[in-house]
Structure 1
Amino acid sequence: MLVIRPIEQRDFPTLKQIAIESGHGFTSLPVNDELLQNKIDQSLASFASRPAGKGECLYFFVAEDSDTGEVLGTTALEAAVGLSSPFYTYLLGKQVHSSPRLGIYNVVDTLTLTNDFTGVSELCTLFLREQARKGLNGRLLSKCRFLFLAEFSELFDDRVMAEMRGVSDEQGKSPFWNWLQEHFFSMDFPTVDYLTGIGQKGFIADLMPKYPIYVNLLSKEARAVIGKPHDKTRPAVRLLEEEGFTCRGYVDIFDAGPSVECDLRQIRTVRNSRQLKVHVGEPVDSGTHLISNTRFDDFRALIGDLAVNEEKAQAVITEEVARLLKVEDGDTVRVVEMNR
């Protein structure tokens, strides 16, 4: 059974391997020892001292196999992006060129560089290793964050977003970036992807076009991938769409992958989850649920069988589930029924 828990220092070797496996375009996990260690340190600091409100905190989780102890995935929450360094996105818009006297009316699509997500909370770093891509593991990795958001909503922005990886090939070549590189930059996509991942974003302000880009001037290949996710990212997009996330015209500045967003309180799992008291026993007429404890620094989440005693507002769970969640009779859990 996979169990979600906060990342620990002992996870560094596996985190580095996951960074390697994640490949090009996965900006939030650069293959850089110092930056990966910084992420662990930042998350440890965030969990060590619960803040009074939203700040630049990173809550980084791993999925651990309860039988083997092997870490099989990562997932994370950034409480607020863009506060200490710019968070850039392109916004798809329109420009109208018209001349009533000549009877001409043209609507042209544009891409405008923005910092519109400044201060917004971000879902990030979701990666499930190849050997674990089965059953409900992907749903657990994605949706566990919503139980944490629901339980500790005061630590996050009212608006939650996620950048989805855009189209690139096995060599890391992005059709969208190829056009930008030809006209404005002299760096290939893997290089800019890496620089962004390690926080060196100054080149964006220096070299990125300051004025709106007319989409019809881009190459056919570049236009074709605007707002399109990478094939390996499509399952993650579908899971977020099920939760109520939509793309409102924002795309990544390097590969043009879509950015999706939702109001925190409108996220389906946040809205439908509830707290129940624990009763350890044998669940009768149980159903599959996403379950978490309600602890901040010792957060645990998993998908397991649970029976609800509505009269007593109890969640009846097995001894194994209770042990993995680190709860006992009378403790509180947050639960939501899973749809397969």
Structure 2
Amino acid sequence: MPTTLILLAILLVFAIVVIMRTVRIVPQQTSLIVERLGRYSRTLEGGIHFLIPFVDKVRANVDLREQVVSFPPQPVITSDNLVVNIDTVIYYTVIDSRAAVYEIANFIQGIEQLTVTTLRNVIGSLDLEQTLTSRDQINSQLRGALDEATGRWGIRVNRVELKAIDPPLSVQESMEKQMKAERDRRAAILNAEGVKQSQILTAEGEKQSQILRAEGSAQARVLEAEGQARAIKQVFDAIHRGKPTQKLLAYQYLQVLPQIARGDSNKMWIIPSELTDALRGIGGMLGKGENDPGQMDSEEFVEVAEPESSAFEALALPDAKSALEEARGQAARSTKEATAHSAPVSATQPPIRPAADAVPPPPV
């Protein structure tokens, strides 16, 4: 009884082993290389397959997905005799499992050594600056050379990337200084552009401000001139409506004369000849005495369209003798003030006074 159980157990184990060696389930994107009695028999793709136990043998399990291999830094000499360390990354795919197994013993090691030799050939024809700035060109040349060499191994190189290019420390310091100088130059240019734009905007603002101030000043002057013109016209109309005589105008001029001489900007002032004529007329009138009042009104008045006597009555002289004395006193004070304000003129010319024969003395 125990012997029978042992035989049954052995048969069961043998059956399980036979089944396991006969039935093979291959995953997707995987291939199995099968040898029969030591020779290549077939390649199994994804799915379920049956083998002859103890006759067929699986030689290799090949992954058909894209593989990534990173190689350690390799020292490479450029055309200007500088040693740089370059890290490379290879992206490849197995397209022929049989060739990958039987054409080369270790295709990963073969790709690495081929990458090193190809990289040295490519970098040896470039200087350091071209090496640093021509990564795409280097990648393209490496991929073309590796793909051509690995094609017979059943390997397709999809991409070759340079992870890092490390120049010598002395060159790195020089490059850092150069980059710093370049950044400083760009910063100076940007700063100058900013200052330029700021000055342009400031100048434009000042220009607009000056234009607006000039326009405002011009408008103010125009309005002021128009106001002065209206005021002069109103004064002129009021004087003519009052029918002034030449003597009355001379008296008003004598009243205004001290104010003219009192100004700081007036260095010299002139007494018109009409004033002496008016004073001569007033003196002649006073010389005839007060018994001839008609002489005051014998002078012709200014003809106007609308005769009005209010302004003339307001400006009429109450007493001719006292008016003459007041006019002489004001003329003397004005002459003294004008002489004090215009020293250079008074040093060379005597103060201007009415002629003695033009204004007769008042009767006693």
TM-score (norm 1): 0.19
TM-score (norm 2): 0.18
User: Higher strand proportion, which one?
Assistant: 1
User: Higher helix proportion, which one?
Assistant: 2
- Which protein, 1 or 2, shows the higher relative CO under an 8 Å CA cutoff with sep ≥ 6? 1
Q: Which has the larger radius of gyration?
A: 2
